[in-house]
Amino acid sequence: MPIISAPQDFHEDELFVDLRELYGWPLYLKCEGFNFAGSVKMKAAGSMIDAAERAGVLDRDSILVESSSGNLGLALSMICAARGYRFVCVVDSRTNLTTRQAIESLGGEVHLITEASGPGGFLGARLEHVRRLVAADPRHVWLNQHANADNWKAHYRTTAPAIHRQFPGLRVLFVGAGTTGTLMGCARYFKNVVGSRVTVVGVDSVGSVTFGGRPGPRMIPGLGAGVRPPIFDPRFVDDVVSVHEADTVRTCHRLARSGFLFGGSTGTVVTGALRWLDRHHPGEDVPAVAISPDLGDRYLDTIYRTAWVQDIYGLDECAAARSAGADAVTPGVN
Ligand SMILES: Cc1ncc(COP(=O)(O)O)c(C=O)c1O
């Protein structure tokens, strides 16, 4: 029985959903949404704050500032509340309203960026705002999840070994790329500790520049970046799949109709994984794991709302999403 006294002390690291019955592939979904912040970002938040405290960077007057699509901000606001730090979270208009409200309920201050800036898009604009805050007040401390090695180290220490323990014969690992903290931590672990028999595949959103793609509009927070994250090191990643957001929405709806309400990036990662397996191992039984960053309750106003799907992706995508529970998702087409 886990008994804790701080929110970041609990994380369910041993839960996998078997997708074989739904999709016909031996694909296991590692669920990272079962902690108080409801997402994979609790690990990065705890790791970066602990390291900053050890380095003596934080004191009682410090005000943490961070750019976030929402989930890291929520995790940081919990830990800051528990440890008595002030926290300013710089989000943009794609961040879910409930996440912004939760950050404020936990005592954080939310700065909302409503205009994208140049080729860096919303992320570029958020980073500019953080830089201005840091320059204006020496109490501001920016942990900078995009450049902070303690982001990926959290996954090197926890997520990857948890997968390795459960799947010692793993052949393929699919990881979504936002800051690439999860991807780099897991990829480094499997390459350094396990060796080359595990193929590590990054999954990105179309419109993200991380793997060299052209910048484009993206509405689902979490995966993808308008500015390549400094912690990203392509040498550890074997392949990449880029997924259109409309396909993400279809997969989320299909998973939901089977009883699993997952977040947007889970839809992206599952779509990319099925497509990659179909292309590289058609009909083969290859042990594969995909990482699910969060659950779906924060996306009820977006991915799971008909009007939003219609507005953003058009009528056809909406109809496809609604019928996704009944239609088989064909790997390679999705
Ligand atoms: C929902 C969700 N999915 C995926 C990611 C990407 O994780 P990482 O930043 O470790 O690449 C994030 C990061 O914010 C996220 O919030």
The full set of domains in the chain, from first to last, is 7-36+155-323 (3.40.50.1100), 41-142 (3.40.50.1100)
What does the pLDDT read at residue 333? 32
* pLDDT band for position 249 (cuts 50, 70, 90): very high
Going from the Cα of 180 to the center of ligand 1, the distance in angstroms, rounded, reads 8
What does the pLDDT read at residue 221? 92
Going from the Cα of 145 to the center of ligand 1, the distance in angstroms, rounded, reads 11
Going from the Cα of 178 to the center of ligand 1, the distance in angstroms, rounded, reads 5
Residues 315 and 75: their CA atoms lie apart, in Å, by 35
Which residue's entry shows tokens 């689902």?
Answer: 220
Atom of ligand 1 nearest to the CA of 175: 11
Burial 55-88 (b: 16+ CB within 10 A, else e): eeebeeebbbbbbbbbbbbbbbbbbbbbeebbbb
The residue-averaged pLDDT of 166-194 equals 97
Best of 34, 71, 155 for a ligand 1 pocket test (most atoms within 8 Å of beta carbon): 71
What φ, ψ does residue 109 adopt, rounded to 5°?
Answer: -105, 130
Residues 183 and 333: their CA atoms lie apart, in Å, by 25
Residues 295 and 313: their CA atoms lie apart, in Å, by 22
Going from the Cα of 41 to the center of ligand 1, the distance in angstroms, rounded, reads 7
Over residues 311-322, the pLDDT tens digits come to 999 867 667 666
Residue of minimum CA distance from atom 12 in ligand 1: 222
Residue of minimum CA distance from atom 13 in ligand 1: 222
Q: Is the CB of 222 under 6 A from ligand 1?
A: yes
From the CB of residue 187, how many other CB atoms can be counted at a distance below 10 Å?
27
Q: Is the alpha carbon torsion for 173, 178, 180, 186 positive or negative?
A: negative
Say yes or no to pLDDT of 332 above 90. no
Q: For residue 12, what are the CA distances in angstroms to 15, 32, 48, 138?
A: 7, 7, 20, 37
What does the pLDDT read at residue 118? 78
Q: Is the CB of 177 under 6 A from ligand 1?
A: yes
Does residue 194 contact residue 310 with C-beta atoms inside 8 Å?
no
H or E, element range at 247:
helix 245-257
What does the pLDDT read at residue 324? 60
Q: For residue 257, what are the CA distances in angstroms to 122, 261, 323?
A: 32, 8, 10
Which residue's entry shows tokens 């390291």?
Answer: 51
Q: Is the CB of 186 under 6 A from ligand 1?
A: no
Residue of minimum CA distance from atom 15 in ligand 1: 222
Does residue 126 contact residue 92 with C-beta atoms inside 8 Å?
yes
What does the pLDDT read at residue 331? 36
Atom of ligand 1 nearest to the CA of 182: 10
Best of 39, 156, 220, 295 for a ligand 1 pocket test (most atoms within 8 Å of beta carbon): 39
Q: Is the CB of 72 under 6 A from ligand 1?
A: yes
Going from the Cα of 2 to the center of ligand 1, the distance in angstroms, rounded, reads 26
The residue-averaged pLDDT of 54-63 equals 96
Going from the Cα of 5 to the center of ligand 1, the distance in angstroms, rounded, reads 26
Over residues 80-125, the pLDDT tens digits come to 999 999 999 999 998 989 999 999 999 999 999 999 887 789 999 9
Pairing of strands 16-18, 27-31: antiparallel
Q: Is the CB of 294 under 6 A from ligand 1?
A: yes
Going from the Cα of 283 to the center of ligand 1, the distance in angstroms, rounded, reads 31
Q: Is the CB of 146 under 6 A from ligand 1?
A: no
Which tokens go with 279?
């292309």
Atom of ligand 1 nearest to the CA of 155: 10
